[in-house]
Amino acid sequence: MHPSVIAQKTPDKPAIIMAATGESISFARMDAQSNQGAQLFRKLGLNTGDGICIFMENNIRFLEICWAAQRSGLYFTAISSRLTAGEVEYIVKDANAKALIVSEGLSKVAAEVAPLIPGVKLLMVGGTIPGYASYEIEAGKMPAEPIADQTAGAAMLYSSGTTGRPKGVRQPLSGQPIDAPAPLLGLV
């Protein structure tokens, strides 16, 4: 079930609770913030079929950003927080990402990777460093309503690269509404 459906049925129910800190976010708030993120992606010029990369450690904003990309028809790629700038650069370029969203906790690597990926929109969660705009501030300026052209995006996963560099797995987008059941659900 898509989080937006849960947000309508039980808006105050926690969507995420961070075990280490107890920080939480409700489904209603996550739904609104993911709508704002989707609006921001459109403002930045990202269209259905484009991609973003997300480079952060455990962060309460992670799923919000994934859902913003998913409802925008974007491919979203999570990058391990343990990678070097060169490894992050490789994945961002290989995924043909139009935007990179980084958490402040990874600002050292983020600063190193920025000049390696010209033309990629750079956003940071939890703070900013030179070259990166604040994701929270920019998304916070956007309306919390769904974008007009919502369509399901997809995760673009990377193999571990045991025979060389990591390889991206890009499945075709379904073109389905964001709340359509996953195709495999009909088999069970």
Alpha-carbon distances of 156 from 2, 39, 122, 160, rounded to whole Å: 19, 21, 19, 13
Nearest residue to 29 via CA among 43, 48, 16, 47:
16
Compute the Cα dihedral for 147, 149, 155, 156 and give only its sign.
negative
The upper half-sphere exposure of residue 59, i.e. CA atoms within 13 Å in the direction of its Cβ, equals 22
48-95 tens-digit pLDDT: 999 999 999 999 899 999 999 999 999 999 999 999 999 999 999 999
Full set of structural domains in the chain with CATH: 3-158+165-170 (3.40.50.980)
Q: Any idea which residue has 């979203």 for tokens? A: 76
Q: Is 84 exposed, middle or buried (0-12, 13-18, 19+ CB in 10 A)?
A: exposed
119-171 tens-digit pLDDT: 999 999 999 999 999 999 999 999 999 999 999 999 999 887 677 888 888 88
Q: Collapsing DSSP states into helix, strand and coil, what is residue 155? A: strand
Q: How far apart are CA 123 and CA 145, in angstroms?
A: 21
Name the pTM for this structure. Answer: 0.90
According to DSSP, residue 151 is labeled: B
